[in-house]
Amino acid sequence: MKVTGKKSLSTLIEICLKIIFVVGILIYITLPLLLNWYIDIFNPILNYTAALIILYASGIPALIIVYKFIKIFKTLRLDNPFTLENVRHLNVISICSLIIAIEYAIGIFFIVSIFEVILIAVFIIIWLGAYILAELLRKAVEYKEENDLTI
């Protein structure tokens, strides 16, 4: 299966990301109700206010990450991935991942959970990975532009 262009894997992933984005917005809007339901059924000792604050604070950066990935996959679908715009998208993803990791690191003082430790580790890895990928892509764009000028 093709990775870039129309009717490719990137198009399928872009559609999935759009669905995730819409579902994420719906979850963000209904978060107080969903959190109440979760606490009633699964975890009655969870601090509602602390959990709600942490989830609301991390929800916006998470939605921004998904939105930026949609933008990146759109360039893959258009078969033009080596752009400075994608470098900026990866930098924003990196910053948002760091923000989420910091929010959960602060939140661990209010809600002690192994899942928070795992989330912190995952978002630190995403932060570093996105930052490194952004720098690699920046170099690739520079080489591409230099190569386009010599032809």
Query: What is the b/e burial string over 97-136, where b = at least 16 CB atoms within 10 angstroms of the residue's CB?
Result: bbbbbbbbeebeeebeeeebeebbeebbebbeebbebbee
Which pLDDT does position 95 carry in this prediction? 98
Q: Write phi, then psi, for 28 (nearest 5 degrees).
A: -60, -40
CA angle 48, 18, 68 (to 5 degrees): 85
Match 């942490």 to its residue by tokens: 54
**Residue 4 carries which DSSP code?**
S
3-class DSSP assignment, residue 104: helix
Which pLDDT does position 41 carry in this prediction? 94
Q: How many Å apart are CA 53 and CA 46, to the nearest integer?
A: 13
Q: Which residues of the chain have pLDDT under 70?
A: 151
Question: Among candidates 124, 128, 104, 123, which has minimal Cα distance to 114?
Answer: 104
Is 5:79 a contact under the CB 8 Å cutoff? yes
Which pTM does this prediction carry?
0.91
| Assigned token pair, 6 | 């129309």
| Assigned token pair, 148 | 């386009």
Neighbours of 89 (CB within 10 A): 23
* % of the chain residues with pLDDT over 70: 99
Match 């990450």 to its residue by tokens: 65
Which pLDDT does position 54 carry in this prediction? 95
